[in-house]
A and B are shown apart, each in its own frame.
Chain A
Amino acid sequence: MIKPVLLWSDALILLLLAGIAALVWLARHNDTFRAPWRQVMASRMGSATALVLAVYAGIGLLDSLHYVERLPSEPGQPAQYSGDVRSALDALLTPLRENVEKTYSAPFATHLYAKETMTGPDGREIRDYPRLAFGGAHLADPQRDFWPDVTQRAGLGLLGGWLIWLVWRALRRWTPARRATATPGAAARSWTVLAMLLTAGMLVALAPHYHVLGTDKVGQDVLYLSLKSVRTGLLIGSLTTLIMLPFALTLGIAAGYFGGRIDDAIQYLYTTLNSIPGVLLIAAAVLVVQVQIEAHAELFETAAARSDVRLLALCAILGVTGWTGLARLLRAEVLKLRELEFVQAARAFGVTDARILLRHLLPNVMHLVLITVVIDFSGLVLAEAVLSYVGVGVDPAMTSFGNMINGARLELAREPVVWWQLAAAFVFMFILVLAANLFADQVRDALDPKSKERA
Chain B
Amino acid sequence: MIAIIIALVITLRFVVLPSSLTDTRFHRESTVEREVAKKVAFAGATVCGTCHVDQMTKKSKGYHKTVSCETCHGAASSHIENPAQKPTAPRGREFCVFCHAYDQSRPTGFPQINPVVHNPLKPCTTCHNPHDPVPSQAPRECSACHAQIANIKSASPHALIGCTSCHTVPAQHKISPRSAVPTKPETREFCAKCHAQGAAQKDAPKIDFSSHGERFLCWDCHYPHLPERTVKR
A binds B: no
Interface residues in chain B, defined as those with a beta carbon under 8 Å from any beta carbon in chain A: none
